[in-house]
Homo-oligomer: A and B are copies of this chain.
């Protein structure tokens, strides 16, 4: 069902006046206390097209995020946490259907275990946070905080897996991880601590592992496209960009037209047998022979929310896709002097009651900035005509609908909004795609902030070279992914960068 309980809220009629005068935190005023930037409460102070970075930060601050006194750490407020919970509910149920079970492994890793897989630790080492003291005492050995849990978990996989009957082993955990990055912390997109799920599975055969990689990737696509209304490309990461220590990495890639940057949405890795070798994860097959397991790991994080904000927000603030909005409709009484005020209020109350049996709350809130998908206004004229006025947040379209068919109309509208948000985002993304053949075209497209589809020889050395040659103020270009859906590659096509025969089409661009 699309309209859920507690998803309808009622706004106060004098909201505007209150907002400016009282300067509550949701009103965005805040002249009274220290550290709070002056905001008008009537809109954002910058435009999305003019200063994207500032705009993003400002939108996030509208009850999605609170900046924290430790750089790179952010508070997830209920307005964003509710979105995370909705995605969790979907994904958790789906993986449970696949017989994945939840568990919880410790936050801490001992150095010996962390450093067991060389490529893996090289990828993470610079970002690892170390605990060296408790109370006033130094620890005997410093202890790391997990940046991801492969090395935390796999010694125990080695212990638990003995025979083919113990396979597949499919575990998942919902937890926090820490990567102490120093460059450009950005709420949701790049933070020192973030929330995610990490799935870790072990199979008897590569075929089973390969299959699961794509099943999980499809769930990630659905989170982006069906829930967040954000179009993504499914594809394969290059050797340079794959998960450190793994065999291959698939991903869903989103694109932010305003900045011309790709953003890795979520990754599903086949680890092959590399970790199995390092951690001695063996099993006895049906013939009594010892074999190594095949492993996958896969994760998506609160980064999803950042991609959604960047994709849909406008100069008025956030726009939430109905499926993930914790409030889907705001009902607003619009009284005029001499009008039947009581009648309007009664109609509002009845409207709220009809849409939902719970959660009626008078809210002096900036619902537009907070992105509530649908607004319902009820004024004197509406009362006369036994109708309500709906205003869509995504495109501003107004429509009068009879009160008799309120619920059906609202459900239909929310579905239309969800579909439209996806369509609009997809069209914008499509408009950014540029197919190129030569280095010169590549550079032109890159400077035009395009999502570049180029024929590539698939050599690591060439990707490193492209990175080096494009290093500039706005960051080097790299491969985003090679889409599973490949356009035709005519024989004789050459790599745009090396001039060698091209092996595949690959997306290139700058990235978050």
Partner of A77, one of B103, B158, B161: B103
Whether A134 and B180, one on each chain, are in contact in the complex, defined by CB atoms closer than 8 angstroms, is yes
Partner of A106, one of B107, B180, B193: B193
Whether A274 sits at the interface, judged by CB under 8 Å, is: no
A28-40 contact mask (Cβ, 8 Å, vs B): 1 or 0: 0010110110000
Whether B131 and A129, one on each chain, are in contact in the complex, defined by CB atoms closer than 8 angstroms, is yes
CA distance A70 to B128 in the complex (A): 17
B residues within 8 A CB of A85?
Answer: 102
Whether B134 and A127, one on each chain, are in contact in the complex, defined by CB atoms closer than 8 angstroms, is yes
A474-506 contact mask (Cβ, 8 Å, vs B): 1 or 0: 000000000000000000000000000000000
Whether B143 and A135, one on each chain, are in contact in the complex, defined by CB atoms closer than 8 angstroms, is no
Whether A175 sits at the interface, judged by CB under 8 Å, is: yes
B residues within 8 A CB of A108?
Answer: 70, 73, 192-193
Whether B105 and A75, one on each chain, are in contact in the complex, defined by CB atoms closer than 8 angstroms, is yes
Q: How far is the CB of A435 from chain B (nearest CB, A)?
A: 40
Whether B128 and A130, one on each chain, are in contact in the complex, defined by CB atoms closer than 8 angstroms, is no
Whether A165 and B24, one on each chain, are in contact in the complex, defined by CB atoms closer than 8 angstroms, is yes
Partner of A133, one of B22, B77, B142: B142
Q: Given known contacts A23-B162, A133-B129, A134-B127, is B106 in contact with A81 (CB within 8 Å)?
A: no
B residues within 8 A CB of A43?
Answer: none
B residues within 8 A CB of A340?
Answer: none
B residues within 8 A CB of A127?
Answer: 134-135
Q: Given known contacts A33-B159, A158-B33, A165-B22, is B135 in contact with A68 (CB within 8 Å)?
A: no
Whether A13 sits at the interface, judged by CB under 8 Å, is: no
B residues within 8 A CB of A73?
Answer: 106-108
B residues within 8 A CB of A155?
Answer: 69
Whether A74 sits at the interface, judged by CB under 8 Å, is: yes
B residues within 8 A CB of A36?
Answer: 159
Whether A90 sits at the interface, judged by CB under 8 Å, is: no
Q: How far is the CB of A86 from chain B (nearest CB, A)?
A: 11
B residues within 8 A CB of A163?
Answer: 22, 24
Whether A110 sits at the interface, judged by CB under 8 Å, is: yes
Whether A468 sits at the interface, judged by CB under 8 Å, is: no
Whether A103 and B131, one on each chain, are in contact in the complex, defined by CB atoms closer than 8 angstroms, is no
B residues within 8 A CB of A180?
Answer: 134-135
Whether A346 sits at the interface, judged by CB under 8 Å, is: no
Interface residues of A in 49-76 (CB under 8 A from B): 66, 68-70, 73-76
Whether B25 and A195, one on each chain, are in contact in the complex, defined by CB atoms closer than 8 angstroms, is no
Q: How far is the CB of A85 from chain B (nearest CB, A)?
A: 6
B residues within 8 A CB of A156?
Answer: 66, 75
Whether B165 and A145, one on each chain, are in contact in the complex, defined by CB atoms closer than 8 angstroms, is no
B residues within 8 A CB of A126?
Answer: 134-136
CA distance A327 to B40 in the complex (A): 56
B residues within 8 A CB of A193?
Answer: 106-108
CA distance A130 to B134 in the complex (A): 6
B residues within 8 A CB of A35?
Answer: 159
A329-364 contact mask (Cβ, 8 Å, vs B): 1 or 0: 000000000000000000000000000000000001
Interface residues of A in 102-145 (CB under 8 A from B): 102-110, 113, 125-136, 142-143, 145
Q: Given known contacts A69-B110, A159-B36, is B364 in contact with A165 (CB within 8 Å)?
A: yes
Whether A443 sits at the interface, judged by CB under 8 Å, is: no
Q: Which one of A36, A70, A192, A364 has the highest number of Cβ atoms from chain B below 10 Å of its Cβ?
A: A70
Whether A75 and B103, one on each chain, are in contact in the complex, defined by CB atoms closer than 8 angstroms, is yes
Interface residues of A in 146-169 (CB under 8 A from B): 155-156, 158-163, 165-166
Whether A162 and B25, one on each chain, are in contact in the complex, defined by CB atoms closer than 8 angstroms, is yes
Whether A101 sits at the interface, judged by CB under 8 Å, is: yes
B residues within 8 A CB of A101?
Answer: 78, 81-82
CA distance A367 to B183 in the complex (A): 51
CA distance A356 to B125 in the complex (A): 48
B residues within 8 A CB of A18?
Answer: 165
Whether A318 sits at the interface, judged by CB under 8 Å, is: no
Whether A176 sits at the interface, judged by CB under 8 Å, is: yes
Whether A110 and B70, one on each chain, are in contact in the complex, defined by CB atoms closer than 8 angstroms, is yes
Whether A134 and B129, one on each chain, are in contact in the complex, defined by CB atoms closer than 8 angstroms, is yes
Q: How far is the CB of A365 from chain B (nearest CB, A)?
A: 11
CA distance A212 to B106 in the complex (A): 32
Whether A32 and B103, one on each chain, are in contact in the complex, defined by CB atoms closer than 8 angstroms, is no
Please name the 5 residue pairs, one residue from A and one from B, whose CB atoms are nearest each other, closest first.
A134-B180, A78-B101, A73-B106, A76-B104, A130-B133
**A-B CB contact pairs (8 Å), 8 listed:** A6-B96, A22-B165, A33-B159, A75-B105, A104-B195, A134-B180, A165-B364, A175-B176
